[in-house]
A and B are shown apart, each in its own frame.
Chain A
Amino acid sequence: DAGVTQSPTHLIKTRGQHVTLRCSPISGHKSVSWYQQVLGQGPQFIFQYYEKEERGRGNFPDRFSARQFPNYSSELNVNALLLGDSALYLCASSQWTVNEKLFFGSGTQLSVL
């Protein structure tokens, strides 16, 4: 079975631009969460989605938004990019919103110049 897949794997943008990151969960998983990992830190929670509804949001500005599609895949959008948005963006999936564990993808490495 395929794991959580994310695209693209690497991305370079300039300040002020917009970016869209994509995630396909494990087959049968209905919940997708997004995490941001800055170099030297642990992953930080951004969003949780379940059945196309936002179920949780972390302490991130409104420049960050996401959505989930009927096939349970998800997009993370970041507007007006700042240098500080440079990070590894991780997508995680689980069957339900409250699960013992999350399965993570390999992430999208975003560099903002």
Chain B
Amino acid sequence: DQQVKQNSPSLSVQEGRISILNCDYTNSMFDYFLWYKKYPAEGPTFLISISSIKDKNEDGRFTVFLNKSAKHLSLHIVPSQPGDSAVYFCAARISTGTASKLTFGTGTRLQVTL
């Protein structure tokens, strides 16, 4: 039962254009959504997050949109740069008052071409 899904295993975008990475989820109990970026031989690096009570969060070139009714979120990168080439993981958090855990999607490999 995969609660967080990234249906596109890979995406290729030209430098300077917009990259849009998508993520779907099924569990309504998720209270925070996060995007992580991962380079080979490194651990995931936090990119941006959004609370479940918001619909948009922006940080520089990165914007995350949340559509709760559709249980869908997306990450927009504008403009895309070659250094953005990496695997991007969508993650969703469930928390109680004393504990939390992240559920990850399977990742989307972004290739930004010159």
**Residues of A participating in the B interface, judged by any CB pair closer than 8 Å:** 4, 33, 35, 40-45, 48, 50, 55-56, 58, 90, 92, 97-107
Contact = CB atoms under 8 A, between A and B. Distances in A.
Contacts of B95: 98
A106 B106 contact: no
Nearest to A41: B106
A97 B43 contact: no
B29 interface: no
Smallest CB-CB A-B distances: 7 pairs: A42-B104, A104-B43, A55-B99, A56-B99, A45-B101, A101-B46, A98-B95
A90 B43 contact: yes
A106 B107 contact: no
Interface of B: 4, 32, 34, 36, 41-46, 49, 89, 91, 95-107
A48 B41 contact: no
Given A97-B100, A98-B95, A106 B89 contact: no
B103 A45 contact: yes
A103 B46 contact: yes
A90 B44 contact: yes
A102 B96 CA distance: 16
Contacts of B99: 48, 50, 55-56, 97-98
Most chain A beta-carbon neighbours within 10 Å: one of B32, B95, B99: B99
Contacts of B104: 35, 42-44
Contact of A48 (B36, B44, B89, B100): B100
Contact of B41 (A40, A56, A106): A106
Contacts of A44: 104
A79 B102 CA distance: 25
B106 A43 contact: no
A104 B44 contact: yes
Contacts of B44: 43, 90, 104
Contact of A42 (B49, B98, B106): B106
